[in-house]
Chains A and B, each alone.
Chain A
Amino acid sequence: MPPDTSSPARAGIPGEPAAEAAPVVEMRNIRKNFAAVRALRGIDLVLHHNEILGLVGDNAAGKSTLMKVLSGAYIPDEGEIFIEGRKVEINNPLHARHLGIEMVYQDLALINHLDVSANVFLGREKMSARLGRIGVVDKRYMEQETRRLLDRLRIDISSVRLDVERLSGGQRQSVAIARATAFNAKVIIMDEPTAALSVAAIGKVLDLVRALKAQGSSIIVISHRLEDIYQVCDRMVVLRHGCKVCDYPVAGDLHEFHERVVAYIVGARNDFPEAAVEPGQKSTQTGEQS
């Protein structure tokens, strides 16, 4: 761990000038164990303003765990998180949300039996009146706002009063993403946003991601589909066995990119070999990682 914790705005990635301001998110030396399983073994991660970061890795590489730490679903055993340069302790999803971190879960986390606008506003209902602790929901306001949001993001859903269970997979994904963006999030995390979607729907979701960036959002995309990462991301981080093995801008042609990323994913290449060593293990390292 670097001794100087007072200046979180370290240089982000090789080949890029030091960030103009503090990065939106900086995670340092994040560790998380589940009983004997070391899911995260000291990961550093930086997300800059208005950047789309791709997070790649094989199954059980730690992508989702790392993002659940950032979104408050898991509490890390060790490590620090900075949001816009301010150190934060994220204890639960609601807290993460207050900090401006929104997660779009892989299983979408929508309520099938509620309609689109109820889902978008779930947990943040606009109230028209309060009788003690009983709040009366302002349906008209929420429906209008939801319509506006869908129109702004060019999401094609005929009525905000449709039950979510009646929507297609792509529409459901769009609703989940729209919900994450509805409240001026600083960071939007998307876990496998294109999994189990038709080709046409994938295109629409990727367009939506680009549209969000154009509107100034900072986004982390977890995906198995390297084509998606290649198409929308500015930079990518590859995880393997709970360690970061690659942190590099997305560039070059697709074929070359694909081969390089696969090499990192399967372990043929590693830009951070020291990081793979555990403290306390027999090694030449001092045990701490930078």
Chain B
Amino acid sequence: MSERTAKHISKGAAEVREAPGRSRNALDRFLTFAAVIALFIFFSFTARNFFSVRSVLSLALQTSAVTIMGIGVTFAIISGGVDLSIGSVVALSGTVAVMAAIAGVPVWISMLLGLLIGVVCGLLNGLMVTRLKLPPFIATLGMMMVARGVALTITNANAWPAPEAFGALGNNTIFGTGQEFPGIPIPVLIMIGVAFLFHFILSQTRIGRYTYAVGSNEEAARLAGIKVGQVKVISYVICGTLAALVGIILASRMVTSQPNSAIGYEMNAIAAAVIGGTSFMGGMGTVGGTVIGSFIIGILTVGLTMAGANYFMQQIVIGLVVIGAVTVDQLRSRK
């Protein structure tokens, strides 16, 4: 059985090699993918009920937020930056959408309004980095505080209940067959769609290629005629928009405004990208890698919980995995 799995994985890795300029990542992803399988098998034995349709679906649902945010921040990191504000943008866009819905705006328009908040936050981050020449860490740190502050202000730090229709997106499932199969949660489907769409953008389109170019060698990109500032702004807009998408999904799941939601999520998203092979030096990383990185964190969290480890223990383990993943990457690239 294990042989068959290995064969399947190596076939996947060969397909990945098609992507431009990521021959090393093919190996990286093979290893990280193997780690996911290993973890899964490990927890299937140690934690009761881990290996079941229900727990897989609940794992996917729990992981969807960090995965979608991680895909966004992957763009920012590949372009040579980082985005610390995404956790706050999740809260802000979610609360704006809920407050708009409470005020009587149709649900879908209030959700679009939430998305727009993410676009604006990303745009502001991008302009601070490219026009004001602020270091991305500082610019997005400021945005992290501002966005959180605005979210707390407009809700007066309260969890206001949204209209019932607001909860459909986050709580409904489709393809369900009653008892035997509970159906796929809509957030999971959104995550899958986002992963495919942004994998395509990053690996097959010109803007994806330019994102790598800008992060890898900004001066060379400029000399080749690439509008470096524009590429960076687009990467922050993608990052902010995906964070807003998560904000809407989470607000919908809670059916309330949650100005204190997603605190620290930006760190999990960055950790997912880094575990998945995204380099903080810029110019390296893939959407697939980040998805796998996010699932490693998710499996560890769920698995450790089911195996009876407490939250503090989980933090220690995930922290060590981040350090370990980057160390392995460093050692391999030094050769």
Q: What residues of A have a CB within 8 angstroms of the CB of B284 in the complex? A: 113
In the complex, the answer to whether B213 meets A111 with C-beta atoms within 8 Å is yes
List CB contacts (< 8 Å) of A124-149 with chain B. 124-125, 127, 134-137, 139
The CA-CA distance from A162 to B21 in the complex, in Å, is 7
In the complex, the answer to whether B224 meets A137 with C-beta atoms within 8 Å is no
A-B contact pairs, 21 of them (CB 8 A): A93-B222, A103-B223, A108-B220, A109-B224, A111-B220, A111-B221, A113-B22, A113-B216, A113-B284, A114-B216, A115-B21, A117-B20, A118-B20, A118-B209, A123-B224, A123-B225, A125-B209, A134-B201, A137-B206, A161-B23, A163-B23
In the complex, the answer to whether A122 meets B20 with C-beta atoms within 8 Å is no
Smallest CB gap from A98: residue in B = B225
Chain A contact residues (Cβ within 8 angstroms of B): what range? 20 to 34
Residues of B at under 8 Å CB distance from A?
A: 17-18, 20-24, 201, 204-207, 209, 212-213, 215-217, 219-226, 283-284
The CA-CA distance from A225 to B161 in the complex, in Å, is 76
Chain B contact residues: helix, strand, loop or mixed: helix
The CA-CA distance from A93 to B223 in the complex, in Å, is 6
Contact of A122 among B17, B219, B226 (CB under 8 A): B226
The CA-CA distance from A274 to B209 in the complex, in Å, is 51
The CA-CA distance from A117 to B20 in the complex, in Å, is 9
In the complex, the answer to whether A134 meets B206 with C-beta atoms within 8 Å is yes
Quick one: which of B215, B216, B219, B284 has the most chain A CB within 10 A?
B216
Smallest CB gap from B284: residue in A = A113
The CA-CA distance from A115 to B216 in the complex, in Å, is 12
In the complex, the answer to whether B223 meets A125 with C-beta atoms within 8 Å is no
Q: What residues of B have a CB within 8 angstroms of the CB of A166 in the complex? A: 23
Residues of A at under 8 Å CB distance from B?
A: 73, 93-94, 97, 103, 105, 108-115, 117-118, 122-125, 127, 134-137, 139, 161-164, 166
The CA-CA distance from A118 to B206 in the complex, in Å, is 10
In the complex, the answer to whether B283 meets A113 with C-beta atoms within 8 Å is yes
In the complex, the answer to whether A137 meets B283 with C-beta atoms within 8 Å is no
Given contacts A110-B220, A123-B226, contact A115 B206 (CB under 8 A): no
In the complex, the answer to whether B213 meets A134 with C-beta atoms within 8 Å is no
Q: What residues of B have a CB within 8 angstroms of the CB of A113 in the complex? A: 21-22, 212, 215-216, 283-284
The CA-CA distance from A137 to B205 in the complex, in Å, is 5
